[in-house]
Structure 1
Amino acid sequence: MKLNSLYIALLASITANAHANSTDLERIEVKGSYFNDYKVDNANGAMRTSASLLETAQSVTVITDTIISEQLATTLGEVLTNDASLTAGSQQRNREVFNLRGFELSSSTGYLRDGHQHWSHYQQPIEILQQVEVIKGPSSILYGQSGPGGLVNMVTKKPTAQTLFNASADVDQHGSTRFMVDAAGALTESEDLRARGILVKQDVDYWREYQNGENRERDRFLGALVVDYDISDNALVRVHYDRTDDEAGLDTGAWIDDNANVIGSDKTIRDMSWAFTDITVENLGVDLEVFLTDNWQAKLGYNEQTFERQRFESAPRMPNGFAEGDSYESRPYDRFDDWQFKTAFIDFIGEFETADIQHQLLVGANSLDYYYGQLRTALPKEEYLYYSAGQDEPSRPSISYKTDDTISETEYDYYGIYVQDLISFSPEWQLSLGGRYDKQTREGQNNESFVPKVGVLYHPNASATIYASYSEGFEPQNETITDETDINFGMEIDAVTSEQRELGIKWQLLDDRLLLSGAVFDISKNGTLVTEDLEAPIGSVTTETNQVGEQRHKGFEIAAQGAATDRLFVMASTMYLDANYERANEELQGKRPVDAPKWSASLWTRYELNDAIAFNAGAFYEGERFADSDNTITKDAYTRVDVGATYKFNLSNTDINLRLNIENLFDKSYLGGGGTNNVTVGEGTNLRLAAQFSF
């Protein structure tokens, strides 16, 4: 409560300053869009330094807040559709799953916020984001445990010395609403103390409905506050806090048959109307930046993330051969989850010269203190619920996680030290070298790894880069083989490793306003478990499990981002992906992973008719994908077309932007991510209206 009170007081102060200063500031009117708000030259998370994208031997996509705002995006999934290398997985239980270059991003290791590892088991509060960086390929050298596909780094908005006060409201055809206030400015006359506060209230009415006729709903509140203080001319300290409260009815997805047809209506939710999830997430942290000399700086950061969730499940089970009207079983339970992520890092960054060779050196260390606890109470088996269409919905069982007198807990710590050097031999040639030692400690089990990274960059001119790189990643498994009928029962499972080889080009055209890029990649994931039957069983021991599995993803990407003319802006990408299990259990051998299309593409554009009116158009394509690991059920390819228009004008010294967006203009029926019993059904044509005010 004290933090909330402090937040409200500071936000009120910023707001008051905004109104007080609005009449004193000279108004400068800019004709035309000379500012390229689709293109960014740096990605903070890719190198952890100020190196530009042209100096980064890795494929990186940056999605700006301008695009997020134009699309009226409300979820991270809507933002990430702008990069074809990302495809959606299941969206069940009010969270989103993504695949990057065909590999699923883990909630614990696949996401960063401002360079901190971020627990992402919920829908991210995108209203606080300045940009989203998609860092492709294994990135363990800088961040430790991470998957082979890459990372998503969410960069948050920061305080500004210039006073700003923005307010917005949007609504869709179902009656969903979202209201937001974003205020920033200096709190002192000397501008050494600055703050930014954001408030969001969202109420969602979903288009899918429960079988008793009730609509699924969501209620979300977000509050965020960032305060900057200049300790001196060479040092800055930043304190941040944000809280998300998010309660929603559950929708674990639609059920499809062997021909990938939705069973029953597209609108039908199989969960009961009383099933829900209630999430509270808080982040509190501090960052310090100090310039030690003209060429050396130190950065320190700490963040404490608390994630608490109650989930009351009806847990519907899809029977084999299910047809609409058949009875199905529900196994209700109530559970409480408590995740705690404590992250810290320290970086030293220096630029110096040795023997006419330039160096940009990074030396750092980071750590994670992880805790997870769960309480769970389930309905006894003999009281399971059975339901079929047309019946009255069963009442909510009187069970509560609070009656659980045991707690399931997991704890571990990991830390790593890393070194990276960007060596410039000449204006044409650069070499990026790095390595990391990482250790994870857990009771009864430890994991240690060393991963290297190397990249060679050639710049034929100041606006182009050709690069080749090699990088590795690792994912600790924290478990043993638990099957007592296996000859390796009790064997500790080592970290799963990955490696990537990438060849790419980046080329800035039209006076560096448009960035074209392309990359060819080959990623292998090694060390997954493979179980085989013993030729000669030994008593009750019938199988042998070893870490010899391999999954290989090869392909290429092409992208364009920036301004094609003074009034036409574009963000476009396409990916071809050849993904297979090359050595795996018999049921997976040679198969393609679920939700990994061979082809995917995305396009978003803005054309400014004049200084007041602009139009947007976008198209998002996903090729055929498998809905099951046996590769017998295929979801059809689809293209969704979105359009929008905006009208800007000034009224009483207030800039007003009115926006209309139409999603799925041609009412295309399609299936999104997810498998046979949790697939996301694409929504039909949906209208969104928004009004944005800048004071």
Structure 2
Amino acid sequence: MKFSPLFLAVSAVLSATTVSANTAANATDNLANHSSEHSSLKEIEVIQVKGSYFNSYKVDNANGALRGNISLLETAQSVTVIPDTVINEQLATTLGEVLANDASLTAGSKQRNREVFNLRGFTLSSSNGYLRDGHQHWSHYQQPIETLASIEVIKGPSSILYGQSGPGGLVNMVTKKPTANSIFNLGLDVDQEGSSRLTLDAGGAITEDESLRYRANLVKQDVTYQREYQNGEQRERERFLGALVIDYDVNEDLLVRFHYDKTNDKAGLDTGAWLDDKGNIIGDDKTIRDMSWAFTDITVENYGVDVNYILTDSWQVKLGYNSQTFERQRFESAPKKPSGFVQGDVYTSKPYDRFDDWQFTTSFIDFTGEFSLTGVEHQLLIGANYLDYYYGQLKVKGESFAYSAGQAEPTRPDISYTTDDSLYTSEYNYYGIYIQDLITINQEWQVMIGGRYDKQSKEGADNESLLPKAGVLYHPSDSTTFYASYSEGFEPQSSETINDDEDLNYGMEIDAMTSQQYELGAKWQLFDDRLLLTSALFDITKTGVLVTEYYQDDSYRTSQVGEQRHKGFEMAAQGAVTDKLFVMASMINLDASYESDEKYTGKTPIDAPEWSASIWSRYELTENLAINAGAFYQGERFADQDNTIVKDAYTRIDLGATYKITLNNTDINLRLNVKNLFDTGYLAGGGTSNVTVGDGISYRLAVQLAF
């Protein structure tokens, strides 16, 4: 075998540094990603096209929705796919910046250098709300989006295929894959605060026969935030990412894929701003209540293998395995907001040093087949998946101290989690067996039916469930679909009782959470199938919700409310309006409330606005010059469970422009983005003591080189 010098060079860098890359993706890259999947193991001519972005705003398939390469028009479910074209145009550096393009997702708190999201008003859990290439993914950190080809937002309960998951849906992160054609992209972007991000995205064939291919990413990012500590220091962050994917075509029928990535992410802590009883920020909107020495330091590693084997012309089997290790040190100053606090008052901090160790091991096997039975076409999926979960924690508390604005910052306590000799652990595993059949009765009608048996084994919290899913699709034309569907979800609690001995309801028995959704929808492809329009009506009921109330004396009580019901209507448009104008737009009207509970009936959950909308667009002025414009609207939201504190509605306007130059076969893209053009002041996600303050106007300049 002859190995590519570029591959050897990148491999050497990976072995020395574990740092990875931001992909500066373009139309060539998107074509290559599709051609690298196993469906193209047979020899296919790769055509490289330069120039316009084509219709790279519109994606026709979502692998995560039905665990297969099935058209969105044949999916009886609302799904949004955000392509890497949009990610790159927005110079996005966090998952939150990307998910803002789907109005059904709203941001929750961003405290402690991680992001929380609500989908259709329900919070996405770190343990079961996210997938990566179909694997359940522990997402208690900011995701490395530079490695992603697209993000699929799969709406509604999806437990039939993925096991434990919430009623709002799932976010499936689809990673970039090796390519046969050579890719070498360098990128550098900076902002007005001095933040910088250096990225490399490389790929291509390792061997002359192209049977061995790779994709490698490197990223080094340094961030300076607009908010600052009370001693005048600005909050900072350092991140390194390294990722490598290798594809090997063993023969025409067998593809083996290996992947590895590592993230190091260290940042100062910002647990959010504090609000008064009228929803106003107490003090300056840039002030961080945490001490400047508080930090979080995260190391995440993923490695695994995927196998795709074509058994016959009609059947194939897919196997996947991923091991994820997540280690985090969090040194907290832990400020506590007193009742009735006003600027200048004294507040107490309760510092501690904590080490967390999460280990996620996932695997699956899927058999898929297409066949005809009594004149009816079937696309059948039979599979099973498994998760093994481990969590360990060490924690040492320091002495509490009082502080008020204007005082000298207290020194960092001399404590270390390494002195804790009482390791707390939690373990469980679960597996599920599922079946799904997409039945094509004739050209107009399709039926989707499925079911799953799921079992969790955990000391004190064993659970099992049997879940159904069904859908009917009507296609009056090749470009139109109307559908109706029903699905269920299941989420075991972490224990059978409330086991926090500081909780006022300590020892109370709690039940597993279940959910049901009814959905009606329609999908149309317009303008010669260049623009996809979608709409959906949904009604979701969740039972067994846990709500924690905090009192003035720092005590708290967790209760299990009866029901949480979210009803709503969504619309979206994605694709090309003309040869030069591309759009990605969405809106949602949401009616979310608690039901059948003595205290919370009629109340709306935190961060569940009635109206939300977003639009991002691209207009190509010339072959070399394009402009972008976006608007992101969030309606009024409650900041507390009692619905007495309201966060105002806001609209954020963003602008961008790209100019392309070609020199000596090198494409140079110069990009300028302006975020929050009108310097709108707003509050994003979070409650009264951890709200995220929206950044003011910011500028980001990028240079991207494609060789």
TM over 0.5: yes
Q: Structure 1 stretches (4+) deviating beyond 4 angstroms?
A: 3-6, 8-12, 25-33, 482-492, 544-548
Cα deviation code 1:480-538 (max 9, x no counterpart) = 3348999998675332100000000000000100000000000000133699xxxxxxx
Q: Determine the C-alpha separation between the residues in 2 that align with 1:676 and 1:61.
A: 31
Q: Indicate the residue corresponding to 1:618 in structure 2.
A: 630
The 1:4/1:612 distance shift into structure 2, 3 A limit, reads closer
Q: Determine the C-alpha separation between the residues in 2 that align with 1:279 and 1:585.
A: 41
TM-superposed deviation, 1:404: 0.3
TM-superposed deviation, 1:446: 1.1
The 1:673/1:190 distance shift into structure 2, 3 A limit, reads same
Q: Indicate the residue corresponding to 2:482 in structure 1.
A: 466
Contact 2:315 2:369 in 1 (8 A): yes
User: 1:631-646, aligned counterparts within 5 Å?
Assistant: 631-646=643-658
Contact 1:32 1:566 in 2 (8 A): no
The 1:488/1:322 distance shift into structure 2, 3 A limit, reads closer
Contact 1:257 1:676 in 2 (8 A): yes
Q: Indicate the residue corresponding to 1:224 in structure 2.
A: 243
1:584 pairs with 2:597: yes
Q: Indicate the residue corresponding to 1:534 in structure 2.
A: none
Contact 1:529 1:549 in 2 (8 A): no
User: 1:201-600, aligned counterparts within 5 Å?
Assistant: 201-379=220-398, 383-482=399-498, 493-528=510-545, 549-586=562-599, 588-600=600-612
Contact 2:18 2:240 in 1 (8 A): no
The 1:658/1:491 distance shift into structure 2, 3 A limit, reads same
1:73 pairs with 2:92: yes
Q: Determine the C-alpha separation between the residues in 1 that align with 2:563 and 2:663.
A: 62
Aligned match for 2:615, one of 583, 590, 603: 603
Identity of aligned residues (%): 70
Q: Indicate the residue corresponding to 2:192 in structure 1.
A: 173
Write the letter of the residue equivalent to 2:511.
D
Q: Determine the C-alpha separation between the residues in 2 that align with 1:513 and 1:26.
A: 23
Aligned match for 1:137, one of 145, 153, 156: 156
Q: Determine the C-alpha separation between the residues in 1 that align with 2:468 and 2:360.
A: 26
List alignment gaps of at least 5 residues for structure 2: 1-9, 22-44, 549-556
Contact 2:185 2:706 in 1 (8 A): yes
Q: Indicate the residue corresponding to 1:114 in structure 2.
A: 133
Write the letter of the residue equivalent to 2:434.
Y
SS at match of 1:594: coil
SS at match of 2:408: coil
The 1:550/1:4 distance shift into structure 2, 3 A limit, reads farther
Aligned match for 1:123, one of 136, 139, 142: 142
Cα deviation code 1:102-139 (max 9, x no counterpart) = 00000001000000000000000000000000000000
The 1:509/1:78 distance shift into structure 2, 3 A limit, reads same
The 1:157/1:635 distance shift into structure 2, 3 A limit, reads same
TM-score calculated relative to the size of structure 2:
0.91
The 1:28/1:527 distance shift into structure 2, 3 A limit, reads closer
SS at match of 2:673: strand
The 1:570/1:330 distance shift into structure 2, 3 A limit, reads same
Contact 2:498 2:510 in 1 (8 A): no
Q: Determine the C-alpha separation between the residues in 1 that align with 2:559 and 2:645.
A: 29
The 1:224/1:31 distance shift into structure 2, 3 A limit, reads closer
Write the letter of the residue equivalent to 2:694.
G
Q: Determine the C-alpha separation between the residues in 2 that align with 1:59 and 1:26.
A: 32
Q: Determine the C-alpha separation between the residues in 1 that align with 2:296 and 2:505.
A: 39
TM-superposed deviation, 1:315: 0.1
Write the letter of the residue equivalent to 1:555.
G
TM-score calculated relative to the size of structure 1:
0.93
Q: Determine the C-alpha separation between the residues in 2 that align with 1:427 and 1:296.
A: 23
Cα deviation code 1:406-456 (max 9, x no counterpart) = 111000000000000000000100000000000000123310001100000
Aligned match for 1:162, one of 181, 184, 187: 181
Aligned length: 665
Aligned CA-pair RMSD: 2.3
Q: Determine the C-alpha separation between the residues in 2 that align with 1:545 and 1:157.
A: 42
Q: Indicate the residue corresponding to 1:629 in structure 2.
A: 641
SS at match of 1:672: coil
The 1:656/1:522 distance shift into structure 2, 3 A limit, reads same
List alignment gaps of at least 5 residues for structure 1: 15-24, 532-543
Contact 2:516 2:542 in 1 (8 A): yes
Write the letter of the residue equivalent to 2:309.
V
Contact 1:32 1:610 in 2 (8 A): no
Q: Determine the C-alpha separation between the residues in 2 that align with 1:458 and 1:191.
A: 42
Aligned match for 2:65, one of 11, 25, 46: 46
Q: Determine the C-alpha separation between the residues in 2 that align with 1:129 and 1:355.
A: 42
TM-superposed deviation, 1:11: 11
Q: Determine the C-alpha separation between the residues in 2 that align with 1:581 and 1:522.
A: 13
